[in-house]
Structure 1
Amino acid sequence: MRGAPGRLNTAGTAAWMFTGLVAASGLVLFILTVLRPLLLPLVIAAALATVLLPLVDALAARRVPRAAGALLGCLLVIGILLFSAIVFVAGLVDQTDDIGAMLDEAGTNLAETAGDLGIGEQQATDVHQAIEKAAPTVLSAMLSGLADGAAATLQLVLGCTLGLYMLFFLLKDAGAVRKTVVQVIPLRPPLADQAVTRSAALVRRYFAGMTLIGLVNAVLTAVGALILQVESVLAIAVLTFILAYVPYIGALVSGAFAVLLALGSGGTTTAIWMLLIVLLANGALQNMIQPFALGAALRMHPLVVLLATVAAGVFAGVAGVMMAAPLTAIVLDIRRLIRQASSHDSPPQRP
C-alpha cells in the first residue's frame, strides 16, 4: 500500500491536466466562435495576399508605388469575383425554368428506373416526390444567399469589405507584416523566417494547382455534357470549376448536379455516361494531375484531408473548408522543418 499515495498523486495530476486541457480547448473554441466574423476575412485576405504578393513585388520593382500595386490587386480580386458571380448567376437565372423541368424529369426517370428494378410503386413514387421537393432547394442554393435574409447579405457585404481592407494593407505593408509574423512565431528567427517562406510557397502552389485541376475538370465535364447533349452546360462548367477549391465535398456536389441534369435531359443512360465522366474527371484524371499540380509538399493522406476539411467546415464554414488543406499542409511542413532543425542541432551520440 506504500505506493498508493504516489499513484493517487499521479492520477490526480493527470486528471487536473486533462481538466485544464479541456477548459483551454473550450476557451479557444469560444474565442474562435466569437471572433469568427473577424478571423474569416483575415484568413481569406492572408491567403489572397500570399497569392498576389509576387504581382505587387513585380510592380514595385518597376517603380510602381506599393499602394498602387495593392489597390490594383484588390481591384483584380473584385473583378474576378464579380465576373464569376455574373456568369454563374446569369447562367442559372436564364435557365432556371429549364433546370427545374430537368430535375422534375430526372425524378420521373429515377422513379421509373426504380420500378424496373423491382422496387414497389409506392417507394418509386416516394423517390419522385423527394426529388420534386429537393429541386427548389437545389435551385435556391445555387442562385445566391439572398434568400437567407437581409442580415446574411449585410454580414457578407461587411465581411467582404473588411477582407478587402485587410488585403490592401497586407499587400502594401508586406515587409512589415512579415517581420511581425517572424517575431511572433515561437521559433528562432532564421527558422521562423524559413517557415514563413515555405508556408507562402505552399499556399501559392496549392491555389495554382487547384486552379489547374478545376479548369481541367470543368473542361472535361463540359465537353462530356455537350457530347451527351445535356442542357445548362455553362452552369455545370462554372459550378465544377468553383467547387474544385473545396476538397471532396465540392466534387460530390458538382458531380451530383451534373448527373441530375443529365438524368433529366436524356434519361438513365445519359445519366450513367455523365456519372462515368464525372468519376473520370474527379478520380483517375485528377490523380494523374495532382502530383504535378500540387507537388510533393502538398501530398497528404486522403483521410487527413477529409478530417481537416470536415473540422474546418464545422468551425469556419465554406472559407474553412477551402483553407483546410493548405493550412494542414503548412502545419505538417513546419513540423518537418522543426524536426530537421532539431536533428541538426542535437549533439552526436556516443558510440
Structure 2
Amino acid sequence: MGETPNERSTPCSAGRPSLRALWTDPFGRLAIRAAQVVLVLLVAMAVVQAAIRLKLLVIPLLLALIVSAALFPLIAFLRRLHMPHAVAALLTLLLGGVGVGGVIALAVARVAAQWPMLQSSAIEGFGQALHYLHRGPLSISEQQIEHTRQAVVDFITSSEFGQHAMAGVFTTMELATGLVLVLFILFFFLKDGPSIWRFLLRPLRPAWQARAAHAGDCAIDVLGGYLRGTALVALVDTVFIGGAVWILDVPLAVPLSILVFLAAFVPIVGATATGVIAALVALVTVGLSAAIWVSVVVIVVNQLEGNLLSPVVLGRSLQLHSLVVLLALTAGTILGGIVGTLLAVPLTGVAWAVAKSWNDPLPPHRDG
C-alpha cells in the first residue's frame, strides 16, 4: 500500500522533533512554567507601580479598610440595637476621632509646655558630648569638631535644605488630604461595608461568590484581630515604658508614651526604636542612671512582648513566622516608606489567610 501524505517524511524532517514535542518534553514544560511565572511577576510589578503612583488614594483606602475591620464588632453591636447604619457609623467615627484628636492635642500641649526645658537640656547634653569627644578616649580634635559643625551649618543654609523643607510642606499637604480621605472612606465602610462587598462579588459565578465571601470574612477577621491585638500589645508597652519614664521624671513623658504606643504597631522593631529614643531623652535630660533604667525596662518589655504577648494575642489572628514578618516589613519600607511599614504585616497576613481559606469547606450562609 502507498504511504499517506501524513506518513511521508523528507530527509530534512526525519530527525527533527515536532513543535508539540518541543513544548511537551520536560524542558518545554519547564519553559512554559517559567514564562507563566515571569508573566505573573510582570503583572504584580504593574499593580505595585500603579499603587505607588496612586498612593494618595490607595493608602487611605487600605487604612480605612483596616480600621473599619477593627471597629466592625462595635458597628455590629450598634446595629443590633436597631440603630440606623448611618447613625452607627457616624457615632463610631466621632468616638474614634475624639479619642485620637484628644491624644494628639494632649501630646502637643505637653511638648509645648516642656519644650524650653528640653531645649536647654539638649544644648547642655550636646556640649557634654562634644567635651567627651574632645577629652575622651577617641581624642577628636577641635578642628574636626569645627569641620563637622560647619558642614551641618552649610547644609542648613544651602538650597538643598530649602528644597527638603519645601518637600516637607508638600508632604504635610498630602498627609492632610490623605487624612480627609481616610475619614470619608472609613465612614462609608462603616455604614455600607457589607453591601459594598456584595456589590463587588456580584459579577462572579455563584460558586466563586461563596468562596470569595468566605475568604473576605477570614480577611476581615484577620485584619480586625490584628489591629485589636496590636493595640493591646501597644498598650502594655506604653504602660511599662511610659511608666518608667514618668517615674524617673523624664521630661515629655506623655509624648514619649504616645510615641511608644504608635510605634508598637510596627512589629518587632517599633517598640525597640521608641525605647531607644526614650533612653536618649533620659540620658540628655536626667542622666546616665535614668537612661540605663529606661533601657532595662525596654529590654524586659521586648522580651515579654516577643515571648508571651505577641504569640498569645496575635498568634491566632496573624499566624506568620517572624522571618516572614521581617521580610514583609523590609519590602513595605522599600515600597511605601513609613506607611508601607505599617501596612506590610497586616496585608501579608490577609494574603496568607485568603490563600489558606480559599479551599476550606464553606460555612452555612449568613447575612452580612
For normalisation by structure 1, the TM-score amounts to 0.79
Match of 2:79 in 1: 60
Inter-CA distance 206–123: structure 2 relative to 1 (3 Å threshold):
farther
Matched, 1:255 2:275: yes
Q: Using the alignment, how far apart are the partners of 2:268 and 2:123 within structure 1? A: 26
Q: Which amino acid aligns with 2:276?
A: A
In structure 2, list runs of 5 or more residues that go unmatched: 1-14, 157-163, 363-368
Match of 1:245 in 2: 265
Match of 1:171 in 2: 190
Match of 2:286 in 1: 266
Matches within 5 A, 1:169-208: 169-183=188-202, 188-208=208-228
Superposed displacement of residue 34, structure 1: 2.1
The one of 245, 248, 253 aligned to 1:228:
248
Matches within 5 A, 1:85-104: 85-104=104-123
Q: Which amino acid aligns with 2:314?
A: L
Aligned residues: 332
Superposed displacement of residue 280, structure 1: 1.5
Inter-CA distance 338–21: structure 2 relative to 1 (3 Å threshold):
closer
Q: Which has the higher helix share?
A: 1
The one of 279, 294, 306 aligned to 2:299:
279
Secondary structure at 1:45 match in 2? helix
Q: Using the alignment, how far apart are the partners of 1:310 and 1:79 within structure 2? A: 33
- Summarize deviations over 1:158-187 as a string: whole Å, max 9, x none: 222222221122121122123235557897
Matches within 5 A, 1:1-351: 6=22, 17=36, 20-21=39-40, 23-110=42-129, 118-122=137-141, 126=145, 149-183=168-202, 188-338=208-358, 340=360
Bigger radius of gyration among the two: 2
Q: Which amino acid aligns with 1:243?
A: A
Superposed displacement of residue 113, structure 1: 6.0
Q: Using the alignment, how far apart are the partners of 1:247 and 1:225 within structure 2? A: 22
Q: Which amino acid aligns with 1:259?
A: A
Over the matched positions of the two proteins, sequence identity in percent amounts to 25
Superposed displacement of residue 314, structure 1: 2.8
In terms of mean alpha carbon deviation, does 114-123 or 186-195 score higher?
Answer: 114-123
Q: Using the alignment, how far apart are the partners of 1:100 and 1:35 within structure 2? A: 39
What is the RMSD computed on CA atoms of the aligned residues?
A: 3.7
Superposed displacement of residue 38, structure 1: 1.0
- Summarize deviations over 1:166-213 as a string: whole Å, max 9, x none: 112212112212323555789733332222222212222111111111
In terms of mean alpha carbon deviation, does 271-280 or 109-118 score higher?
Answer: 109-118
Q: Using the alignment, how far apart are the partners of 1:278 and 1:30 within structure 2? A: 38
Inter-CA distance 224–51: structure 2 relative to 1 (3 Å threshold):
same
Superposed displacement of residue 307, structure 1: 1.6
Inter-CA distance 4–14: structure 2 relative to 1 (3 Å threshold):
farther
On the 8 A contact 2:235/2:261 being kept in 1, the answer is yes
On the 8 A contact 1:203/1:326 being kept in 2, the answer is yes
Q: Using the alignment, how far apart are the partners of 1:30 and 1:269 within structure 2? A: 49
Superposed displacement of residue 149, structure 1: 4.9
Inter-CA distance 162–9: structure 2 relative to 1 (3 Å threshold):
same
Superposed displacement of residue 231, structure 1: 2.0
Secondary structure at 2:83 match in 1? coil
On the 8 A contact 1:56/1:70 being kept in 2, the answer is yes
Q: Using the alignment, how far apart are the partners of 2:166 and 2:274 within structure 1? A: 21
On the 8 A contact 2:238/2:258 being kept in 1, the answer is yes
- Summarize deviations over 1:307-326 as a string: whole Å, max 9, x none: 21222233334333222222
On the 8 A contact 2:67/2:224 being kept in 1, the answer is no
